[in-house]
C-alpha cells in the first residue's frame, strides 16, 4: 500500500525484537508499529526505541484495534495512531503528516544546533574581547536595540596597579622590515605578553601600536596587585630577551608601573572596549615614556606597596609632563 503511494525504502518484520536493530542500522523516518505482537508488545518496543533516541523525536505510528490503548500509546511516545480495521486514505494521510512533522523536527533541530554553536562562538569572542566577569555581566543585560544595552557597565576601584610596556624605537624598526614581518613579530611578542599576564593574574586592557597596557586588581579586586604587576614586568623583559635570541633581533622594552584609583567600564555600542580612566593611568603611561630602554620605572605609589621579594633602585625625582616632579624607582630584579 505504501509503495503504491510512492514511498521508498520500505522494510518490514514480524519479529518485534528486531525493530531496534533495524532502526539503529537504518534510522527510519517512520515506524508503523502494531501494539499486539507475540513475545514483545508495541509498548516494550517503544521503550527500547527511546534508548536509541533519548530525548529525541520518536517516529512511531501505532496500529491498534483497542480504543482504550490509544492514550497509553501516545503517553509512551507514539506520535499518532491508526485504528484497526484501518481505512487506506486515513493511513496515507497520517503517514504523510507524520513524515512532514518529522522533516520539520529535523530542520528545527538543525537550526537550533546552529544557533547554539553560533552562540558559543559569540561567547568565546566576547570573552576574548572583554574580561570574563564583565562578559558575564553583559550577557545578562537586556538589549534595547541591536546596538546598545539599557545600562552602562562602570565600576570604581580604590587601588589597582596599571602597567604600560612599549618597544623602544619600534617606528624606526618598522621601516626596515616588511608589513608581514612586522605583524608576525608583534603578534609573537604580544602573545608572549598575553600568556604572562594571564599567568600572573593581570587583565590585558588593550594594545596601541607597539604599546601594551594591562592592569592588576580588576575587574575582580585583589590585595597583591602591585606584586603581580611587578612580576609581570620582569617576565616581559625576560620574554623579549628570549624572543631576541630566537629571532636575532635586538628589541628592547621600556615599562612603566603606577598604583592608584581608577574608574573602569565598557564603552562603545557595536565594538565593546573595557577601559580605565584616572590619574594613575596617565602616571603609569608617563612612567613608561619617561623611563629608560630595558628598564622598569615604578612610581612611588607602587614602590610603597611592594614587599621584600623585589630589588628596587631609586632613580630620584624627575619632571613628569602634566604632573610635575615625581619620585620614581627602577625595578631591577627579584630576590631569591
pLDDT of residue 101: 84
Grid coordinates standing for 244? 631576541
pLDDT of residue 74: 82
Q: Please indicate, yes or no, if residue 129 is contained in any of the structural domains.
A: no
Q: Please indicate, yes or no, if residue 285 is contained in any of the structural domains.
A: yes
Q: Please indicate, yes or no, if residue 284 is contained in any of the structural domains.
A: yes
Residue 58 CA to residue 49 CA, distance in Å, equals 8
Its pTM stands at 0.63
pLDDT of residue 294: 93
pLDDT of residue 122: 63
Residue at a domain's end among 88, 123, 158: 123
Please check whether residue 142 is in contact with residue 229, taking contact to mean a CB–CB distance below 8 angstroms.
no
SS3 193: helix
Please check whether residue 248 is in contact with residue 221, taking contact to mean a CB–CB distance below 8 angstroms.
no
Same domain for 191 and 266: yes
pLDDT of residue 100: 86
pLDDT in tens, 136-164: 776 665 554 555 554 677 889 999 999 99
pLDDT of residue 35: 87
φ, ψ of residue 174 in degrees (nearest 5): -65, -25
pLDDT of residue 322: 77
Same domain for 196 and 99: no
Q: Please indicate, yes or no, if residue 140 is contained in any of the structural domains.
A: no
pLDDT of residue 97: 87
Residue at a domain's end among 90, 123, 156: 123
What CATH number should be reported for the domain holding residue 319? 3.30.70.1230
Same domain for 188 and 109: no
Same domain for 240 and 203: yes
pLDDT of residue 148: 53
What CATH number should be reported for the domain holding residue 57? 3.40.50.2300
Same domain for 305 and 168: yes
Write out residues in the chain with pLDDT < 70, as ranges: 53-56, 121-129, 138-151, 268-271, 336
Residue at a domain's end among 123, 154, 183: 123
pLDDT of residue 329: 94
Same domain for 167 and 41: no
Domain extent at residue 204: 146-334
Give one DSSP letter per residue of 10-59, joined into a string. ----S-GGGHHHHHHHH--S-EEEES--SSS-HHHHHHHHHHHSTTS---
Number of domains in the chain: 2
pLDDT of residue 279: 93
Same domain for 180 and 92: no
pLDDT in tens, 30-62: 888 888 887 888 888 888 888 876 556 778 888
Residue 233 CA to residue 32 CA, distance in Å, equals 71
Amino acid at each position: 500500500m505504501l509503495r503504491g503511494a510512492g514511498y521508498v525504502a520500505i522494510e518490514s518484520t514480524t519479529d518485534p525484537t528486531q525493530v531496534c536493530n533495524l532502526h539503529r542500522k537504518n534510522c527510519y523516518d517512520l515506524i508503523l508499529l502494531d501494539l499486539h505482537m507475540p513475545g514483545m508488545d508495541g509498548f516494550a518496543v517503544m521503550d527500547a526505541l527511546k534508548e536509541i533516541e533519548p530525548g529525541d523525536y520518536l517516529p512511531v505510528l501505532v496500529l491498534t484495534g483497542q480504543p482504550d490503548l490509544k492514550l497509553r500509546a501516545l503517553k509512551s511516545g507514539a506520535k499518532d495512531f491508526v485504528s484497526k480495521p484501518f481505512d487506506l486514505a486515513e493511513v496515507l494521510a497520517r503517514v504523510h503528516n507524520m513524515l512532514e512533522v518529522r522533516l520539520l523536527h529535523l530542520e528545527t533541530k538543525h537550526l537550533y544546533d546552529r544557533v547554539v554553536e553560533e552562540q558559543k562562538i559569540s561567547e568565546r569572542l566576547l570573552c576574548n574581547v572583554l574580561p570574563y566577569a564583565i562578559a558575564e555581566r553583559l550577557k545578562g543585560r537586556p538589549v534595547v536595540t541591536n546596538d546598545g544595552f539599557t545600562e552602562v557597565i562602570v565600576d570604581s576601584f580604590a587601588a589597582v596597579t596599571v602597567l604600560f610596556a612599549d618597544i623602544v624605537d619600534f617606528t624606526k624598526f618598522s621601516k626596515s622590515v616588511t608589513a608581514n614581518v612586522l605583524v608576525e613579530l608583534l603578534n609573537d611578542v604580544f602573545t608572549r605578553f598575553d600568556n604572562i599576564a594571564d599567568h600572573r593574574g593581570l587583565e590585558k586592557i588593550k594594545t596601541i601600536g607597539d604599546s601594551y597596557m594591562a592592569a592588576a586588581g580588576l575587574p575582580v579586586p585583589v590585595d597583591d596587585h602591585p606584586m603581580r604587576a611587578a612580576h609581570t614586568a620582569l617576565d616581559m623583559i625576560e620574554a623579549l630577551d628570549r624572543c631576541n635570541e630566537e629571532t636575532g633581533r635586538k628589541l628592547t622594552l621600556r615599562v612603566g608601573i603606577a598604583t592608584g584609583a581608577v574608574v573602569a567600564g565598557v564603552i562603545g555600542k557595536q565594538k565593546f572596549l573595557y577601559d580605565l580612566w584616572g590619574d594613575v593611568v596617565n602616571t603609569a603611561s608617563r612612567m613608561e615614556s619617561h623611563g629608560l630602554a630595558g628598564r622598569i620605572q615604578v612610581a612611588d605609589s607602587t614602590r610603597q606597596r611592594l614587599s621584600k621579594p623585589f630589588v628596587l633602585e631609586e632613580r630620584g625625582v624627575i619632571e613628569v609632563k602634566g604632573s610635575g616632579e615625581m619620585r620614581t624607582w627602577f625595578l631591577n630584579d627579584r630576590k631569591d
